[in-house]
Amino acid sequence: MSIYSLALKNMRRNKIRNISTVLRIGFGVLILLVLVGSGMGINSYIAQFESYSGNNQTSVNDSNHSLNTTIITYINDYLGLDLNNSANPIFFKVTNLLSNLLYFVDGIASLAFLIGVLGVLTTMYFNEVERRREVGLLKILGFNERQIFLSLALEGGLLGFISSLIGISLGSVGLYLISAFIPIISLSIALPWWLIIEVIILTTILSFASGMYPAWLASKNDPAMVFRE
């Protein structure tokens, strides 16, 4: 049996633990997508805000339904300000506030994502402790250390890959709901294709890397232990 096939079949083991890991990472991905997605909306707002704040009143009228217009209209209506004028001192304060908010949101998103992905480390460590005999069994069947290491690390990567798909699906629904209830961002602004691909690659690579140390520990197990009672 190939190590890839073994890694895939290993997922059947400890289903509850694997599902909880997948959901934990998936939740991290979801938070990342929703917050970065929203953050990108804010970022887009700041960029566009700065571009037209001088005297480009026409573009505001043209993008009546865009995020920036909505926010400007919202602030102007409720605070009685004229933020379309860069001479207005509050303009810079609002821009700074939004920039800081963007960093804060991105920080929270990265933290949630990292906590989720590091879940692979604990899951794979528990797997390693429980699987010592199984690893020994694989060794007496002729699997070498490199193959065992690769199959276990791949299992971590697979957990991350599945989690990223689940997180992206839930994140898309989440962003859709946000955009439906708060019509300040559209889904196309908040969830570009490159973000989806980056999240899948990043989650899979980080999960694979997190699973490497427990996999290395497991691969060093003594095969002779399977003879012990």
Partner 1 sequence: MTKNCILELKDVGKTYSHPSGQKISALKSIDLKVRKDSLITIEGPSGSGKSTLLKIMGMLEIPSQGSVIFKGREVKDISPQKRSSLIRNEIGFILKRDNLLSYLNALENVMLPMINSNPDSAREMLIKVGFNKFKSCPKELSPLELQKVALARAMVNQPSIILADEATGELDKLESKEFMELLKHFQKEFTIIMATDDSHLSKYADESLKIENGALMH
Binding region for partner 1 (CB under 8 A): 1-2, 5-6, 9-10, 12-13, 133-134, 137-146, 223-224, 226-227, 229
CB of 210 to partner 1, least distance (A): 22
Instruction: Considering the complex, state which of residue 87 and residue 228 has its C-beta at the smaller distance from partner 1.
Output: 228
Q: Which of 39, 185, 196 is nearest to 105 (CA)?
A: 39
Q: How far apart are CA 177 and CA 14, in angstroms?
A: 33
CB of 164 to partner 1, least distance (A): 24
CB of 165 to partner 1, least distance (A): 22
Instruction: Considering the complex, state which of residue 82 and residue 222 has its C-beta at the smaller distance from partner 1.
Output: 222
CB of 217 to partner 1, least distance (A): 17
Instruction: Considering the complex, state which of residue 137 and residue 209 has its C-beta at the smaller distance from partner 1.
Output: 137
Say whether 185 sits in a helix, a strand or coil. coil
Q: How far apart are CA 173 and CA 90, in angstroms?
A: 35
Residue 155 contacts residue 22 (beta carbons within 8 Å): no
Instruction: Considering the complex, state which of residue 65 and residue 133 has its C-beta at the smaller distance from partner 1.
Output: 133
Residue 159 contacts residue 215 (beta carbons within 8 Å): no
CB of 224 to partner 1, least distance (A): 5
Residue 38 neighbours by CB under 8 Å, 6+ apart? 105, 175, 178, 185, 190
> 131-140 contacts: CB < 8 A, separation 24 or more?
131/218, 132/218, 132/221, 132/225, 133/225, 133/226, 135/218, 135/219, 135/221, 136/221, 136/222, 136/223, 136/224, 136/225, 136/226, 137/226, 138/6, 139/221, 139/223, 140/223, 140/226
Instruction: Considering the complex, state which of residue 6 and residue 178 has its C-beta at the smaller distance from partner 1.
Output: 6
CB of 150 to partner 1, least distance (A): 13
Instruction: Considering the complex, state which of residue 52 and residue 143 has its C-beta at the smaller distance from partner 1.
Output: 143
**Ordered DSSP codes for 8-21:** HHHTTTTHHHHHHH
CB of 152 to partner 1, least distance (A): 14
Instruction: Considering the complex, state which of residue 141 and residue 180 has its C-beta at the smaller distance from partner 1.
Output: 141
